[in-house]
Amino acid sequence: MYLKICGLRQTDNIKLLLPLLPDYLGFIFYKNSKRHAEGILEKDFIKNEKSIKKTGVFVNEKLETIKAIIEKYGLDAVQLHGDETPEYCQQLKNVYLGSNLKLPPKLELIKIFSVNDNFDFNKTKKYEDVCDLFLFDTKGTERGGNGIAFNWEVLKKYNGERPFFLSGGISQEDTAEIKKINHPKLYGVDINSRFEIEPGLKNVEAVKYFIDELRS
């Protein structure tokens, strides 16, 4: 099961997390976020990191802005956390494929869906051809980082083709319940606010405990 740590913004903290070998690191490029990470990826130790997928998180951003950030930081994945349409996702893919700069051979496109008990998973169908992965987060007042879990039983209603990240209020106490989820498309988990000392600063020991338990 893959692990994504999202909402990073402090250099020394990231240096301590890298040896834990998460699969994805998420950097938020949404100016209204308390975890806005502009400038963090300019550090050479992050830019040159090849074993972990650097993921940019965007909310209803202009395509040209996303393209510029992909090229500037060599992002491996883009996570769309707003109201982006399938047409927008396709345009982003086209912009990426049309670039003549040296970029990762494949840009992963992750689309967020905010889930509650009444969520209609049929909404994901029209994104299957234009996105590589989905991420199911808790529907809340903020664009992510609400620290609240949704009812994971509703995942049984998802019968789509795309693998998904589980997100939303996951804490270090949840590993046993996560391991009980028997869904063929569960790809990984995305952790954020419940592992924080303050916004953007992760509790490294809590993350280590979670990873060890999840992978044991």
Q: What is the mean pLDDT of residues 156-179?
A: 96
Confidence of residue 194 (pLDDT cuts 50, 70, 90): very high
**pTM for the structure as a whole:** 0.92
Percent pLDDT > 90 in the chain is: 75
Please, what are the domains in the chain?
A: 2-215 (3.20.20.70)
The predicted pLDDT at position 72 comes to: 86
Q: Decide which of 21 and 146 is more confident.
A: 21
Distances (CA, A) of 106 to 53, 88, 96, 112: 11, 18, 9, 19
Confidence of residue 140 (pLDDT cuts 50, 70, 90): low
Check if the beta carbon of residue 90 is closer than 8 Å to that of residue 128: no
Distances (CA, A) of 26 to 56, 100, 101, 156, 208: 6, 25, 23, 27, 17
The predicted pLDDT at position 3 comes to: 97
Give the integer Cα–Cα distance in Å for 96 and 90. 10
Confidence of residue 25 (pLDDT cuts 50, 70, 90): very high
Q: What is the mean pLDDT of residues 133-148?
A: 76
Q: For strand 77-80 and strand 53-58, is the pairing parallel, antiparallel, or unpaired?
A: parallel
Give the integer Cα–Cα distance in Å for 111 and 101. 24
Check if the beta carbon of residue 136 is closer than 8 Å to that of residue 113: yes
